[in-house]
Structure 1
Amino acid sequence: MHKVIHSESIRSALAHRGWTQAQLAKQLGESPQLVSLWLKGENFPSPAKLLKLAATLKLGFDKLVVPSADQPVIAFRKKAGAKTTDEHIVKARGMGELLKPLVRYLPEQRALHTLLPSPTTDYAPLQAAAAQVRAKIGIGAVAVLAYEHLIGEFKQNDAVLVPVLWGEKQNHKNALHILLRAENVTFIYLNLDTRLEDFKFWMAHELAHVYTPTLAGTEEGEDFADAFAGALLFPQACAEQAYTEASRARSVKGEMAALQRHANEHSISVYTVFREVQAFASFKGLQLLSVDEKTLHVVRNSQRGELVSATLFKPQAPRPQDLIALTAQLFQSDFFVALQRLLNDRGSGESYVQQLLDIPLQDGVALYEALNGARVS
Structure 2
Amino acid sequence: MSTTSRIAIDAMGGDGGLPVMIGGAAAALAADPTLRLLLIGDEAGIHAELQRHAALAAAADVRHAPETIASTEKPTLAIRRAKTTSMGLVISAVKSREAAAAVSAGNTGALMAMAKLSLRTMKGIARPALAATLPTLGDNDLVMLDLGANTECDADNLVQFAVMGAAYSRIVLGVDTPRVRLLNIGVEELKGTDEVREAADTLRASPHLPLRFEGFIEADRLGRGEADVIVSDGFTGNIALKSVEGTARFITDLLRRAFTSSFRSKAGFLLSRPAFHMLKTHLDPNNHNGAVFLGLNGIIVKSHGGADIGGVANAISVAAKLARDGITERITADLGAIGHGEGLAK
TM-score by length of 1: 0.21
Q: As a proportion of its length, which structure holds more strand?
A: 2
More helix by share: 1
Q: Normalising by structure 2, what TM-score? A: 0.22
Larger radius of gyration between Structure 1 and Structure 2: 1
